[in-house]
Structure 1
Amino acid sequence: MLTSPINPPETSFRPSRSEWERLLHRVVDSTPFRRSMRLREFLIYVGNEVVLHGAEDLPEQQIGIAVFGRPPSYDTSQDNIVRVNAMELRKRIDLYFTSEGVEEPLVFEIPRGSYIPVFRIRQANPPEPSVDQTAPSEEFLPDSRPSTLEPPAAVPVTVVPRLQVLRHPLTLSLLILSVCLAIWAGIGERRNHQAQASLHKWQSQPALRAFWGNFFGRGLAPEIVIADNSFLFAQDILHRKLSLAEYLDYSYRSAQSPDPLSIDARSQQQKDLTAIFKHSSGSVGDFRVARRITELETGDEGTRLLFAREYAGHRLRWNNTIFVGSSRSNPWVELYEDRLAYHFKEAQDSSPSLVIVDNPHGNEQPQYELSSIPGARTAYCIIVFVPNPTNTGNALILAGSDSQATEAGGDFLTSEDNLEKLQAIFRQKTFPHFQLLLRISSFNGTPLGSEIISYRIVKG
């Protein structure tokens, strides 16, 4: 139970969607929840079910299936994972509202015997005892009495010839000292500029500043969302595409392949999926992209790095967000797919085989094939720069046909030379919202370079 005073139960209510999303954002980012991905998922699930979907009851078995990946037929009397985690979740919620969230006007708890969050308005803290201000201490009163001191007597000024001043040993020493201090100050200022340039690398060159100023220097650290390779592996096992909806309701953990399988093969498939989802895994290429972006701003704002599995979609509405990976490995990219001019078409094994171009014009082809021959290969990266849903920030997507292509896209956007090429194409120094298709050529696994194949300027 919360130890901070709250209103009586009859004043409990259900918050609006925006109130809940903002409160949830602060709670899951707090110290009590920062290192507990499972408890974050637990809280996000039960909270969203109540606030967004109007749930009046949440059975233990439903939570076990949705949050903890239990099979639909599991026995709650034999498996107490939900009850054990609920006890810890209640403690973390209480800890937040009595520490970091002590000033929150809206509070909630999950009463024992239920999994439904109960929201209440926190009562105002009782006023502090008043202090007698009729006789303030003289120690803190300004001295308003008229001064009785006489003005200082005039000091006679003696004019000393300039040559005589310079020959005076003390005066000469002071002059030398002042010159040394001025030189030292200049060196210090130059070093300070160098230090600032290393802290804010995105400001060091014009094109970098023009593009990355859309994400940095805005008082809120941009969030980099790294792909979830477990989601990618699951699609390889199932031989089918999984959706963001399946990712959000956790049904992807118990999904089944459309292929006809024997009972033993299907059982083994479920075991493989269970083993995969016990771990969070990411691509080395994706991490390199995140590192390059993070190196652009190492000051106080910096960046926040999140796995796709721990990301909450409501954050996109008011944050600057960078999604690394295609929708095959980063399911959040699906939110933008209906607006993309370029799409990866997948082969039967669910891996990309083509890039489809919507409404090709000029020298564009309607599709571009990925190719791989011994020692050489051609891949593609889609770069999308668009406003966030509330137009309060921006979203950036770096989606490669494979991890190496995604990494090449990150190299492109953190290069002053490449950004200058984009400025020349757009014929303006500022960057409009755009979509871009890069062709990545490599030899023996080492990228040789990227080439702009097509672009679209996003209007409105």
Structure 2
Amino acid sequence: MSTAKPVADPPSLEQQRLLVSRILSSALFRKSRKLATFLQFICEQQQMGKADSINEQRIGTEVFGRNEGYHMGEDSIVRSQARFLRIRLQEYFATEGKDEPIILTIPKGSYVPEFHLRELPAEPVQAVATLVSHIGYTASTPSDTESPEPPPKRSSFWIYVAAGFGVVVCLALGIGWWLRGEEHRHAGVPVEVRFWASIFDSQRTTILVPADSSLVLMDELIGREITLSDYMNRKYRSTVPPPEMTRIWNQLLTSQYTNVVDLRLVSALERLPEVDHSKTQVRFARDVSVSELKQNNVILIGSTRANPWVDLFSSAGRFRVGYDSNTHTNLVENRNPGPGEKARYDEAADSADHLAYGVVSYLPSLDGESSSLLIGGTSKAGTETASEFLLSPRFIAFLRTLDTKGGALPHFEILLSAQNLNGNSYQRTIVCYHIL
């Protein structure tokens, strides 16, 4: 992305308004109503000469509907959305707005927008002209009183060589600029934005599926795990439970239970600026079909025991969050472990370590056209570990270690561990990860 600097004569108000209009009508901002409203509000205030009144408290009440005098220390909605807005503007000027003559920025520590003229790189023709001047070739005009002598054949030869060399240099510089533009087209977009944009793809619907928590209770009632096949074909509905459990079984069959950790994650994901709410659905696991999961991007939350759809992706990754019914242990299987890795990581809820495990898997979509995301854990604390890591600066730092070329990110899976204290996780650590 080209740089920008303040100038003595800033862009006119009309130029500023036209730029804001183009930004708000871009695909990047059309799919994020909150960020568009945020940007429109601060720009309108600045252009009306009310820059001094643009502050966190006012944005919180005017844009995000917070009550007058709300506690900004406890509610960071404005600060977090401002960060996303800066990222989205950077992405706009690196992609759709790469040819904009004016750049809009929101400096850190402020909410007042600034408009700068873009610094453009030198044109290739200028570089060619400079290079040609260095090789000493200039055109001369004959005088009116003198008849020019025919140039020697040797001179014509060198003129053709210089001209040909100039053309080659021009082509080389043009190709170089184009290649460099392609290389940096993605590099100007923050890696976390590219990651989430691949999940919340504007061309496809993204389905978020929290865990079906009733299944774990149903497994316990019938003494076996309900498999993916049983779940897909609804065969579990014809299972006959012990007589004394019939009333509870029937209640579980007709109820839609999930857990608060999954709901918190869904809520956090829906606030991401990359989310297009018109193309995002939250579905209860039992209401989803295989064909829907194959045709769309998917975010699955939970282990195979609470969300059997996870097993549809079993061939794509090496980690599988499951359950050992013989030892009554929640665990993470590590198929084809690497050096120093274990083949199985058992949750140690009853030991002194109180270890829980979480997994974040970024995998190809079932049709291979896009990407999907799986978040699961050996318990509530394990899923919480994976969820909080996914939304933390540590995850962004991890993505940056994979982002060597600035293009599409490779698929991967991460195994995390955490101390489990009364269902809450702390001291989270990356155990190992695989690039797929």
Q: TM-score, normalised by structure 1?
A: 0.52
For each residue in 1:87-146, what CA deviation from the matched residue of structure 2 results, as whole angstroms up to 9, or x when unmatched?
Answer: xxxxxxxxxxxxxxxxxxxxxxxxxxxxxxxxxxxxxxxxxxxxxxxxxxxxxxxxxxxx
CA distance in 1, matches of 2:12, 2:325: 74
Q: Which residue of 1 aligns with 2:255?
A: 279
Deviation for aligned residue 1:247: 1.6
**Structure 1 residues 277-286 or 220-229, which shifts more?**
220-229
C-alpha displacement of 1:428: 5.5
Q: Given that residues 235 and 241 in structure 1 are in contact (C-alpha distance below 8 angstroms), is that contact kept between their aligned partners in structure 2?
A: yes
The answer to whether the aligner puts 1:315 opposite 2:292 as a matched pair is: yes
1:303 maps to a residue whose letter is T
Contact 2:202 2:279 in 1 (8 A): no
In structure 2, the partner of 1:209 is 193
Task: Please name the residue that 1:433 is paired with.
Answer: 411
Q: Which amino acid aligns with 2:416?
A: L
Q: Within the alignment, does 1:363 sit opposite 2:340 as a pair?
A: yes
2:401 is aligned to: 424
Change beyond 3 A, Cα 1:374–1:241: closer
What does residue 184 of structure 2 align with? none
CA contact (8 A) 2:385 2:417 kept: no
The residue matched to 2:432 in structure 1 has which SS?
Answer: strand
Kindly tell me the number of residue pairs found equivalent between the two proteins.
273
Distance change in 2, residues 1:416/1:187 (3 Å)? farther
Distance verdict in 2 for CA 1:348–1:318, change over 3 Å: closer
Misfit runs of 4+, over 6 Å: 186-191
CA offset at residue 250 of structure 1? 2.1
Equivalent position of 2:118 in the other structure: none
**What is the distance in 2 between the residues matched to 1:350 and 1:240?**
13
Question: Do residues 225 (structure 1) and 203 (structure 2) align?
Answer: no
How big is the shift at 1:392? Answer: 1.9
Matched, 1:237 2:213: no
Q: 1:354 to 1:376 in 2, by over 3 A?
A: same
The code of the aligned residue for 2:266 comes to A
2:39 maps to what in 1?
195
Identity %: 23
Could you say what secondary structure the match of 1:235 adopts? Answer: helix
CA 1:416 to 1:219, structure 2 compared with 1: closer, same or farther past 3 Å? farther
Q: Secondary structure at the match of 1:214?
A: helix
Contact 1:253 1:273 in 2 (8 A): no
Q: Which residue of 2 aligns with 1:140?
A: none
Farther off after superposition, 359-368 or 327-336:
359-368
User: Are residues 1:447 and 2:431 paired?
Assistant: no
Shift of 1:239: 2.0
Residue of structure 2 in register with 1:337 after alignment: 314
Over 3 Å counting, the alpha-carbon distance change for 1:252 and 1:349 in structure 2 is farther
Return the letter of the residue paired with 2:382. Answer: A
Aligned residue among 233, 245, 251 for 1:249 = 233
Is the contact made by 2:301 and 2:376 (CA closer than 8 Å) also made in structure 1?
yes
Q: Where does the alignment leave 5 or more consecutive residues of structure 2 unmatched?
A: 1-9, 24-34, 41-79, 89-188
In structure 2, C-alpha distance between the alignment counterparts of 1:284 and 1:344, rounded to whole Å:
19
How far off its partner does 1:315 sit?
A: 1.1
Deviations 1:21-75 (A, max 9, x none): xxxxxxxxxxxxxxxxxxxxxxxxxxxxxxxxxxxxxxxxxxxxxxxxxxxxxxx
Amino acid paired to 1:326: S
Post-superposition offset of 1:378: 1.4
Aligned-residue RMSD, C-alpha: 3.5
1:400/1:406 contact within 8 Å kept? yes
Deviation at 1:338, TM superposition (A): 4.2
User: What's the TM-score, normalizing by structure 2?
Assistant: 0.55
- Within the candidate set 331, 338, 358, 1:354 is matched to 331
* Structure 1 match to 2:372: 395
What amino acid is the match of 1:418? F
Letter in 1 for 2:220: D
Q: 1:372 to 1:237 in 2, by over 3 A?
A: same
